[in-house]
């Protein structure tokens, strides 16, 4: 596999910290909530937290899979915390959020893959903050997709997200516990099950994929009704993670944005720093 070493200038981004960042940090810390922002060393944390947004990571920070692009710890997770939904609701209230993105680790150890806990978090937040819009970014619910979606049907989010992450040929190296068709199937089922809910996915570039493969992924996603897409640069989040094969130039991301629009995605975020939850609240992204 190719290996890109030196970070190009367009990817150098200092962690900017201000009063709002400190407030975000304080609220999350005082409620004992995890975020995907910190657990994956997201390069956008300074910007997002300073805007007063964060993506909450429910069901713990230990994952039952061990994807090599991700820095979330793998192992045996603790049982779901029944008090977590209320803490997420308090966070939403204290941060004054209008749009909340919730994600989780993979929970292959749970019979429902964690779907009921997602539902409980949404319900609890709605009780306290009825106007909040939700975006959920779920695992693939392998082997229990229909059951998981049936549980979530009672707490429909505004956007249902599941990331394919990379092209299928790189799954063995990057996402060995995943299955590309299984991910596509979840998005197809979500599009069909939740009328009026947008489905969303995300792909990282720079892991060694070809342009043709990226084109195929975009077409596959449109084929299962996926309406929203983010396309961003893979950045090695920890020492043990996969190496970056290539730093994709910003103008290449511009071309993918155009291509995704041509293919019919209604919401496209394509830039080196695009992540699935980056500016997720924007009504229109391009
Ligand atoms: S892009 Fe998402 S994961 Fe990254 S800091 Fe922003 S909200 Fe957190």
pLDDT in tens, 253-274: 999 999 999 999 999 999 999 9
The rounded radius of gyration (Å) of the Cα atoms in the chain is 18
Query: Is the per-residue pLDDT at 114 higher than 80?
Result: yes
Query: Is the per-residue pLDDT at 113 higher than 80?
Result: yes
Q: Please, what is the average pLDDT of the chain?
A: 94
Identify the band that residue 129 occupies on the pLDDT scale cut at 50, 70 and 90.
very high
The whole-number pLDDT of residue 195 equals 86
The whole-number pLDDT of residue 285 equals 67
The whole-number pLDDT of residue 282 equals 86
- Give me 246's structure tokens: 């290539």
* Residues 13-59: tens digit of each pLDDT: 877 789 999 999 999 999 999 999 999 999 999 999 999 999 999 99
Query: Is the per-residue pLDDT at 286 higher than 70?
Result: no
Closest atom of ligand 1 to 277 CA is 2
CA–centroid distance, 271 to ligand 1, in Å, is 14
CA–centroid distance, 84 to ligand 1, in Å, is 20
Ligand 1, pocket-test mutation among 17, 21, 48, 101, most atoms within 8 A of CB: 48
Burial of residue 201 (number of CB atoms within 10 Å: 0-12, 13-18, 19+): buried
* Residues 163-216: tens digit of each pLDDT: 999 999 999 999 999 999 999 999 999 999 898 899 999 999 999 999 999 999
Ligand 1, pocket-test mutation among 37, 41, 61, 202, most atoms within 8 A of CB: 37
Identify the band that residue 2 occupies on the pLDDT scale cut at 50, 70 and 90.
low
The DSSP 8-state label assigned to residue 166 in this structure reads S
Produce one character per residue of 235-274: b if its CB has 16 or more CB atoms within 10 Å, e if not.
bbbeeebbebbbbbeeebbeebbebbeeeebebbbbbbbb
pLDDT above 90 covers a percentage of the chain that reads: 87
Q: How many CB atoms lie within 10 A of CB 223?
A: 12
Query: Is the per-residue pLDDT at 138 higher than 90?
Result: yes
CA–centroid distance, 59 to ligand 1, in Å, is 18
Query: Is the per-residue pLDDT at 251 higher than 80?
Result: yes
CATH level 3 topology of 17-270: TIM Barrel (3.20.20)
Query: Is the per-residue pLDDT at 245 higher than 90?
Result: yes
Residue ranges around ligand 1 (CB below 6 Å): 36-37, 42, 44-45, 48, 53-55, 275, 277-278
Give the residue from 107, 20, 23 showing the smallest Cα distance to 58. 107
CA–centroid distance, 121 to ligand 1, in Å, is 19
Query: Ligand 1 atom 1: the closest Cα is on which residue?
Result: 278
CA–centroid distance, 47 to ligand 1, in Å, is 9
Ligand 1, pocket-test mutation among 15, 20, 53, 234, most atoms within 8 A of CB: 53
Closest atom of ligand 1 to 42 CA is 4
Query: Is the per-residue pLDDT at 1 higher than 80?
Result: no
Query: Is the per-residue pLDDT at 111 higher than 80?
Result: yes
Query: Ligand 1 atom 3: the closest Cα is on which residue?
Result: 37
**Torsion angle in degrees (nearest 10) through CA of 42, 44, 46, 47:** -160
Host H or E run for residue 198: strand 198-205
| Across 233-243, average pLDDT | 94
Identify the band that residue 158 occupies on the pLDDT scale cut at 50, 70 and 90.
confident
Backbone angles phi, psi at 199, to 5 degrees: -105, 150
Closest atom of ligand 1 to 53 CA is 7
The whole-number pLDDT of residue 108 equals 95
């Amino acid at each position: 596999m190719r290996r890109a070493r030196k970070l190009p200038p367009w990817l150098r981004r200092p962690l900017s910290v201000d009063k709002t960042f400190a407030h975000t940090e304080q609220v999350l810390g005082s409620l004992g909530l995890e975020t995907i922002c910190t657990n994956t060393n997201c390069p956008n944390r300074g910007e997002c937290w300073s805007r007063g947004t964060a993506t909450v990571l429910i069901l713990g920070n230990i994952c039952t899979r061990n994807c090599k692009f991700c820095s979330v710890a793998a192992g045996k997770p603790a049982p779901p915390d029944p008090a977590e939904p209320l803490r997420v609701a308090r966070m939403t209230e204290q941060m004054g959020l209008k749009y909340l993105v919730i994600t989780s680790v993979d929970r292959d150890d749970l019979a429902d893959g964690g779907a009921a806990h997602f539902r409980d978090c949404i319900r609890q937040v709605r009780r306290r903050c009825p106007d909040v819009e939700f975006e959920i970014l779920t695992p693939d619910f392998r082997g229990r997709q229909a059951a998981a979606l049936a549980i979530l049907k009672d707490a429909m989010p505004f956007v249902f997200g599941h990331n394919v992450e990379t092209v299928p040929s790189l799954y063995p190296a990057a996402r060995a516990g995943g299955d590309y068709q299984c991910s596509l199937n979840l998005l197809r089922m979500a599009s069909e099950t939740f009328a009026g809910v947008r489905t969303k996915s995300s792909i990282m570039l720079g892991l060694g994929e070809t342009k043709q493969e990226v084109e195929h992924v975009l077409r596959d996603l449109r084929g299962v009704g996926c309406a929203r897409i983010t396309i961003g640069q893979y950045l090695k989040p920890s020492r043990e993670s996969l190496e970056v094969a290539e730093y994709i130039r910003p103008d290449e991301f511009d071309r993918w944005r155009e291509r995704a629009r041509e293919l019919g995605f209604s919401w496209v975020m394509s830039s080196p720093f695009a992540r699935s939850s980056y500016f997720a609240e924007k009504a229109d992204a391009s």
